[in-house]
Amino acid sequence: MYKKYEMELAGRTLRVDVDRVAKQANGAVLMHYGDTTVLCTATASEKPREGIDFFPLSVEYNERMYSVGKIPGGFNKREGKASENAILTDRVIDRPMRPLFPKDYRNDVTLENLVMAVDQDCSPELTAMLGASIATSISDIPFDGPISTTQVGLIDGEFVFNPTAAQREVSDMALTVASTKEKVIMIEAGANEVPEDKMIEAIFAAHDLNQKVIAFFDTIVSECGKPKHEYQSFAVPQELFDAIQEIVPPAEMEEAVFTDDKQTREENIRVLTDKLAEAFADKEEWLDKLGEAIYQYQKKTVRKMILKDHKRPDGRAIDQIRPLAAEVDLIPRVHGSAMFTRGQTQICTVTTLAPLSEAQRLDGLDEAETSKRYMHHYNFPSYSVGETKPSRGPGRREIGHGALAERALLPVLPSEAEFPYAIRTVSETFESNGSTSQASVCASSMSLMTAGVPIKAPVAGISCGLVTGETDEDYLVLTDIQGLEDFFGDMDFKVAGTHEGITAIQMDIKIHGLTRPIIEEAIAATRKARLYIIDEVMNKAIAEPRPEVGKYAPKIIQMQIDPQKIGDVVGQRGKTINAIIEQTGVQIDIEDDGFVSICGTEKEGMDKAAKLIHTIVTDFEAGQVFEGKVVSIKEFGAFLEFAPGKEGLVHISKIAKQRVNKVEDVLALGDVVKAVCLGKDKMGRFSFSIRDVAE
């Protein structure tokens, strides 16, 4: 008999079924939030993986289309590779869970989350986050949980916890906060320029609600939790550390890492590594752990320099940003381009504009979102960090960084009515040494402005780091962390926004959570830095969006027609609209409500297409003058085509003021002439006259 536990959470029932399914996993729960159902399992290998120096954690969020009553599209009719949403959910589950496993644990651990039913008002992503926590907590896998996660919306200035689908549509904020019993361990947010103080208030309102869920989870763990299993520790032996410090004293290690050039630092460490490897040549058991030992030695040195001596490896002040540079129009012929450089981090973003029909179609579990017109893609080639490896397409990190920048810029984009384009920005990483995702926000903001996208305000992003000591009060927040400070520090706190407020947050940490003073200080530091970047760097490169799209970008004309006339414009099997496209070289998109977009690069062709469509949807009335092409000649007159699929007859007597004996004496096939509508003839057909057109 399985055990069932329930609590009310934000007005809906959260239910945890234990020992009901998947009993061979180390830990498993069937999570229910409303009608949303997710199977969450935690499994670990019996033995550690050999030859690695990291904790091999895998998080999988598996979407099943049956959960929303759909059959997957395409020929295969089964789920394929993970969607972007699934990858982002993997990452948001991983970030708060990973720090709570032992740092020297080398057993493979997989957290699987299978979405089996979706109630649109109860987020399956949130349900999976909660399920991963409790499944791992009741398992025998070493884990310092449980944790809880809460989503927060902001509607009319009021917080809404775990918002429904309708509430998410109108919310000014999409905030996700994960907590332990004492501290905040993960923050992810997208927001419509929400002020810093409001964001902090929301974070800790979510943290308070998380405590109620953790208390509920503690009850389950106390009744169902398994004893944690013993594991083989891979910690570096103290005697190895002692031997290393005799050969490489702390002052020598400090000198090796104290440089602002990444390549110089890496070469210094390589020299020390070779020196130590030679010294320990006869101690094979130490050689296997030498790499990890040197890493830990560097980490200890850097952390001591920062926390105790207030010295950063590159000599900067604690709140100092690396040298900044920005330029626009770097790449010719593209629709917009900009490059942003911060120290040894350099990003070039290219913007491409297209008609709305080029928006990305989404085939996922969210019924409210079927497409998106803004796409941000981020690329991270190996040369950007001085390495060589083949490109295999974007990984989870690249997809996550692209989504973060996309989230940061969405709030400032114009509406489709204001700017009827699909927009794609691609950030190419030229160099990387810390927080390329936030550099891509800066580069993309400028690139959009060069392309003539009327964004509401420039957006900049910056990352803060953290080094902590023995107590919660012993810490130092660093502005603009470089790679080394990220690797050896405790936090990567990324915040993007405008002058008015925050548009995106992503927080990664390696410790068991952050206190409120740390979060407040980090948010204040990022605000100061991003305003400096906007005012002193970005605005000097380009201060506002260009008034028009560029020469090589497509132009769009919009017009509204009677929806009843759509069939006339399209024609039988698309014959009419295809004829217009062939004649004018434009792209035409027609919505069901009669909204027409004409897209092209040549104004003449676009104007001609608009004129043809206008002619097609205009009913003939006496006195109207049209321009038509002679497409057929008969003994009794000539037929004029005013637009594809729309013709009229000019009787031979109406061709010229003088008598015409033969139509061919005056007109030839292909002639373009003006004709006035005379109304209907005796047989109810519209007739036209060339001779009666006013001079």
* 363 annotated ligand binder: no
Q: For residues 440 and 92, give the distance between their C-alpha atoms in angstroms, rounded to a whole number.
A: 20
Q: For residues 33 and 8, give the distance between their C-alpha atoms in angstroms, rounded to a whole number.
A: 9
Q: Tokens representing 610?
A: 């608009």
Q: Is 373 in contact with 356 (CB distance < 8 Å)?
A: yes
Q: What are the C-alpha distances in Å from 227 to residues 48, 72, 137, 143, 221? A: 19, 41, 10, 11, 10
* 486 annotated ligand binder: yes
**DSSP one-letter string for 313-381:** TT---TTPPPPEEEEE--SSSSSEEEEEEETTEEEEEEEEEEEGGGSEE--SS-TT-SEESEEEEEE--
- The secondary structure element, H or E, covering residue 185 is strand 184-194
Q: For residues 417 and 411, give the distance between their C-alpha atoms in angstroms, rounded to a whole number.
A: 15
Q: For residues 333 and 318, give the distance between their C-alpha atoms in angstroms, rounded to a whole number.
A: 41
Centre a 10 Å sphere on the Cβ of residue 508 and count the other Cβ atoms it contains: 20
What residue has token string 């906060």? 177
Q: Is 423 in contact with 375 (CB distance < 8 Å)?
A: yes
Phi-psi region of 585 (alpha: psi -120 to 50; beta: other; left: phi over 0): left
Q: Tokens representing 221?
A: 């763990």
Q: Is 116 in contact with 39 (CB distance < 8 Å)?
A: yes
Q: Is 491 in contact with 509 (CB distance < 8 Å)?
A: yes
Q: Tell me the sheet residues that pair with 560.
A: 595
Interacting residues of 419 by C-beta distance below 8 A, sequence separation 6+: 413, 453, 454
Q: Computed over its alpha carbons, how large is the radius of gyration of the chain?
A: 32
Binding residue ranges for Mg(2+): 486, 492
Binding residue ranges: 486, 492
